[in-house]
A = this chain, B = another copy of it.
């Protein structure tokens, strides 16, 4: 149950419409929580019905018309409660690792190219994060809320760095492996 809390956080940082939220989820929020516009609109409706957020007045509520939301005190309280609650980490699911294990049984045909493609994707992602870091967290500034946000971005950067290293290592192993037949 994290999507509503992701939305509350985003709206507290800055009141937004559904489409603006979607864009923010595609960018900074997306590096640890992704969501499509369909999810977001549905969830905005629920949160409004529960009295945790409200549509900003002055905006007419018609289809095709922009509608911005802000967080109500009950929403802030719910977010604070959730943030402080103990939650176990979810077990990861990684299809690429699964495919590597499958390849040990049915052969590695096609996987080398996939590893290279993923390596490229992770390198691009890392470059994007580093650009965000350079722009949003220049050396010197040191406000507490910046330090927390920087910490989160650092997790994204270090994770991408890990994947890049691992994929390079995996590609080396692949180059030393015999052909593509099942084993």
Contact = CB atoms under 8 A, between A and B. Distances in A.
Secondary structure class of chain A's binding surface, majority of residues: helix
A29 B144 CA distance: 40
B93 A9 contact: no
A55 interface: no
B84 A110 contact: yes
Given A32-B98, A158-B162, A9 B82 contact: no
A141 interface: no
A59 interface: no
Q: Which of under 10, 10 to 19, 20 to 34, or 35 or more describes the interface residues of A?
A: 35 or more
Interface stretch (A15-23, A41-49, A100-108, A128-136): A100-108
A106 B85 contact: no
B173 A93 contact: no
Nearest to A13: B105
A151 B169 contact: yes
Contacts of A101: 9, 29, 32, 148-149, 152
A5 B84 contact: no
Nearest to A107: B80
Given A79-B106, A106-B80, A178-B144, A32 B92 contact: yes
Contacts of A173: 147-148, 151
A62 interface: no
Contacts of A99: 5, 82-83, 87
A2 interface: yes
Contacts of A80: 106-107, 109, 182
A172 to B, nearest CB: 10
Contacts of A8: 102
